[in-house]
Amino acid sequence: MFGVFISILHDYKLPVSQPILATLIPSMILGLLLVFLTNTAYERFWEGRKIWGSMVNTISNLVRQVWVSVDENFLED
């Protein structure tokens, strides 16, 4: 729809140009915003990854301790 509007303006010889700074500044702001959001998301992912790894190690150690500490009962036929 926007393209049709621009085409009509161009056909009637009306100016449809846009200053270069009008798109440069919002693009820079959007780029910085995306960088900060990406860094924040990566930090959250890495923190979760560290917690998950710690949890896996702790559970493995707990299972090993239980396995070593508990006596086995053999059923005799």
With H, G, I as helix, E, B as strand and everything else as coil, classify residue 36: helix
Mean pLDDT over 62-68 rounds to: 92
Q: What is the C-alpha to C-alpha distance for residues 41 and 38, in angstroms, rounded to an integer?
A: 5
Tokens 């890495």, located at residue:
46
pLDDT score, position 74: 62
Within-domain flag for 51 = yes
pTM: 0.56
Radius of gyration of the chain (CA): 31
Q: Is residue 74 part of a domain?
A: no
Q: How many domains does the chain have?
A: 1
Span 39-53, pLDDT tens digits? 999 999 999 999 999
Higher pLDDT, 70 or 75: 70
> Domain range holding 23?
18-66
Please give the residue that has the higher pLDDT: either 77 or 2. 2
Please tell me the distance from the alpha carbon of residue 54 to that of residue 48, in angstroms, as a whole number. 10
pLDDT tens digit string along 4-32?
A: 998 998 888 888 877 778 788 889 999 99
In a domain, 6, yes or no: no
Question: Cα 31 vs. chain centroid, distance in angstroms?
Answer: 15
Is residue 3 a part of any domain in this protein?
no
